[in-house]
Structure 1
Amino acid sequence: MSSTTNIQLLTPQHWKDYELIDCGDFEKLERFGDVILIRPEPQAVWPKSLPEAEWTQKHHIRFKGRSATSGDWLKKNPQTQDRWHISYKNKDASIKFRLGLTSFKHVGIFPEQAVNWDYISESVKSFRTPNPKVLNLFAYTGGASLIAKAAGADTTHVDSIKQVVTWANENQALSELDNIRWVVEDALKFVKRELKRGNKYQGIILDPPAYGHGPKGEKWKLEDHIMEMMRDVVQLLDPKEHFLILNTYSLGFSSVIVENLIRTAFPQVENLEIGELYLQATAGCKLPLGVFGKFRKIK
């Protein structure tokens, strides 16, 4: 086992339907397709690069919070649609998303995750195993599930919230894909059952929230449960060829913490990469959006 780790700062390279225009003063100005939004961004602690007048002129819809967890979307033009579609394409696969305005400021996609999507599709394409099995945990609206399926994987999508799994299913239809296995369940419980069944996967993706709840009220707190999850998950990996991605968006987590988690759970890890995801604003600044650890083994 090598203790050498490749530490990286990574930003998406293939987006055409997404652009971070500017960020600062705890907000971000971003384009999804033809729609430009202003949303809160707690990481943007520096001043905006563009003048406020330009933000006001450019945007179509702005999110205004009512509380720490919810708010309202204010449209400049009442005719602006609440739902619209965008696409993502890299050298290995192409997928589509239905976006929508939610009361908790999300729109159904985390654009920085395109970095991980590229790693997923590249890994699936490089495996010798036909139709490699990929497990996506805390899978949200399914970007990682879609790209894995589009690249040729037998894909299982697990999330505890039925509404977002339904949303992911819509994205599957939009992407002209089929046969993703949908599971509405607490991720840790699902993993433990898969261990008992003796199942193995060539790819596993984890993008856990800092806090969350399962469908039966199970409580998830990242720092309390992530070590148990990692110890269980690595036992599901095919020893011959595999990849694993751990992505965290928690202000208390660093890439070194992620490295320690992975090396503790999986001492035989090969080709480990850790680092930080960010979005490059057209106006010049970089917006940090979580840390990752990933590794793969190819026969």
Structure 2
Amino acid sequence: MKPALSIIFFTVSSGAGLGLLALIALADLVAPGTLPPHAPWRGALLGLVLLAAGLVSSVLHLANPANAWRSFSRFRTSWLSREAVFATGLFPIAALYIVLLANGGAGASRALLALATVVMAWVVMVCTAMIYASLKPIRQWHTRWTPVNYVLLGHWSGALLLAAIASAYGMASRSLLILAAGLGVASLAAKLAYWYTIGKSAPTTLAHAIGVDQGVRGPGALSVAQARLLDVGHSRGTFLTDEFGFVLARQHATTLRAVALVLGFGLPLLWLVAGGPRWQPALAAAACGIIGLLVERWLFFAEARHTVRLYHGDPRT
């Protein structure tokens, strides 16, 4: 697939924002008082801004952004529609929760809004991930590891941001740093499992795509014809070849995977462990992690091979 920068930014920005919102609300529910006094509402506000920026980027990706409202009309059948509905519902809930946090509100209303924020953030994350995981024509996306990775990476980037915010107030607790490191290790393991899965799964061929995996038997006893492409139907590039025919050399993919691992996981984990509660290493870890995840997300799209490529000359996807 041709990596679109607007969608890459959308998935990374909204994932980090949702992860940050969920972690702050969870901390408020499970371990109140562990974050600095003003950090929760300011962090939650940052999370909401990141989510909004990501959604705006996704709307601008449309050929006609004015038609974005139509995404709300297919809730029963479309993960994109579900994402739009739940994301829209999250904004007023999170906004009320932020107001309560900023004003020092407490009690059942704050706990209820915190719980609703966590649940809605998780639901939006899953809906976004399922937009890609539900696409059967793209083998690299149609796997259980796609939603697992998206949810974990969102929490990992959110944890890096939360650690940086808490460190800026001089109150990054050991438990917060351990939580962030744990999410980083879990995200790294899931990413490696995803790459292993798409590397080992059987590629789709033209014969499989048209339902003749075993070939087509002719009139003779030993005659078996194999499917092959006779003509691509065009003499120059088309929209399909431009959007779905992106080619990423194996050597470049390996290099970019290494960059994503080092920037997205290795250096942030190292800074979290070695830097302690100081804000400079925490900020460096967050910035480095976000950059690494942008590379990881670029690869997520660049390595995806749509089945339609089989009808334009590719032997397998």
* TM-score interval, smaller chain: under 0.3
Higher helix proportion, which one?
2
The TM-score with structure 2 as length reference comes to 0.25
Bigger radius of gyration, 1 or 2?
2
Higher strand proportion, which one?
1
